[in-house]
Structure 1
Amino acid sequence: MPVRHIASPNVNPRPEQTPVRLIVLHNISLPPAQFGGGYIEQFFQNKLDANAHPYFQTIHELKVSAHLLILRTGEMIQFVSFNDRAWHAGRSSYLGVPECNDYSVGIELEGTDDQPFTEAQYTAVIAAILSIQQAYPHTRRHLAGHSDIAPGRKTDPGPYLDWQRIRRALADYYAGA
């Protein structure tokens, strides 16, 4: 699947000798529960106009990024190289190891906690996960939601993400490989 590239300034090197070993799924919509408009892309580039929507006044100074954003159409936009550290997880821990940004790849799905994701997004996220797992084999058994690595602080990707569908597609791929 083709990927559009837009560089985010919200990136830094991973700590030395820190392999990528986790994929984290998120959801995001800007303004909340609204899709399209390019606001997520602006947000990840620190170009969000605080006057474009009242909600933006509360977030426009935050410095956030993700490795990939998957829009409702299935279009993928890469903001940060997988070899670098994106700022997607915040304070987090996975299997007792803190600072997930250091060793994870963050994939944002355009969506909310209370709406289903699109068929195109499932196709894209499964393809993205498989590509990442091939490039970074340690991630093959480590796929989590933001809510899993920051419980009590984050709720995304939410109850509408069909984890069974994703895990079944991954298992089917590896069974046929």
Structure 2
Amino acid sequence: MGKVTSYCASRKESETKMTISSNGWYDNARHVPSPYFDVRPSVDDISLLVVHNISLPPGQFGGPYIEQFFTGKLDPAEHPFFKVIHQMGVSAHCLIRRDGEVVQFVSFLNRAWHAGQSSFAGRERCNDYSIGIELEGSDFVAYTEQQYQSLTQLTNTLMSTFPQITRQRITGHQYIAPLRKTDPGLVFDWQKFKKNLKA
């Protein structure tokens, strides 16, 4: 694939180059490899971006728990909710924290386990052909400016690297699994996010 360069949409950082390496890792992220991934049916089929949210414990921000959850290191004794989820074995490609930090768990070339039972435009098994980005947050708390900036930067880079991901093929978990999921919720400002995406 080589190294692909994109320019962020933030005016403040408009000269900063964002790249994805040939092994599928985002250079502008902290890398925390997860064991929860497998091989995609085809890397040439990467054509969808799914936005999620997550907070652990629910409604609480900060702390190590999301990273522990995605890497199989969550201690069920830390919180009652963790007893329910600690063995689920799920992941996302990236997490964007409240301060805008990007943490990557799975190479974009591999299949992260983020979407579950899902369908987009009549096609099921979204994990096969999608990239999953988690925002640290909840359905009821506004996302931060730093998160929107980081998400825009990352998305523009992904669109350059994987041209089948277009603005029409960027969606929320709530839309690909509407009977199960509600994230990123009504507080996510799609217009704000998409206005700075490249054409």
Paired amino acid for 1:162: D
Identify the residue that residue 74 of structure 2 maps to in structure 1: 48
Aligned to 2:111: 85
Return the match for 1:9 from 28, 32, 35: 35
Equivalent position of 2:24 in the other structure: none
Quote the residue 1:33 is aligned against: 59
The runs of 5 or more residues in structure 2 that have no matched partner are 1-17, 19-27
CA distance in 1, matches of 2:195, 2:30: 27
> Structure 1: how far apart are the matches of 2:129 and 2:172?
15
Confirm whether residue 68 of structure 1 aligns to residue 98 of structure 2. Answer: no
CA–CA distance in 2 between the matches of 1:50 and 1:156?
A: 24
Q: What amino acid is aligned across from residue 24 of structure 1 in structure 2?
A: V
Q: Are 2:121 and 1:95 aligned?
A: yes
2:194 and 2:69 map into 1 onto residues whose CA distance is 30
CA change 1:135–1:18 in 2 (3 A) is closer
Q: 2:79 & 2:44 partners in 1: Cα distance?
A: 39
| AA partner of residue 143 (structure 1) | I
**Alignment pair present for 1:161 and 2:188:** yes
Task: Kindly report which structure 2 residues correspond to 1:70-149, keeping only aligned pairs within 5 A, or say none.
Answer: 70-140=96-166, 141-149=168-176
How many aligned positions are there? 172
1:11-45 CA distance string (max 9 Å, x none): 00001365100000000000000011110000000
Q: TM-score, normalised by structure 2?
A: 0.84
AA partner of residue 95 (structure 1): A
SS at match of 1:134: helix
* Alpha-carbon distance between aligned partners in 2 of 1:162 and 1:73, rounded to the nearest angstrom: 17
Identity of aligned residues (%): 52
Deviations along 1:116-150, whole A, 9 cap, x unmatched?
00010000000011010000000013000000000
Runs of 4+ aligned residues of structure 1 deviating over 4 Å after TM superposition are none
Work out the CA distance in 2 between the residues paired with 1:13 and 1:80. Answer: 11
TM, length-normalised to structure 1: 0.95
Q: Name the structure with the higher helix share.
A: 1
User: Where do 5+ consecutive residues of structure 1 fail to align?
Assistant: none
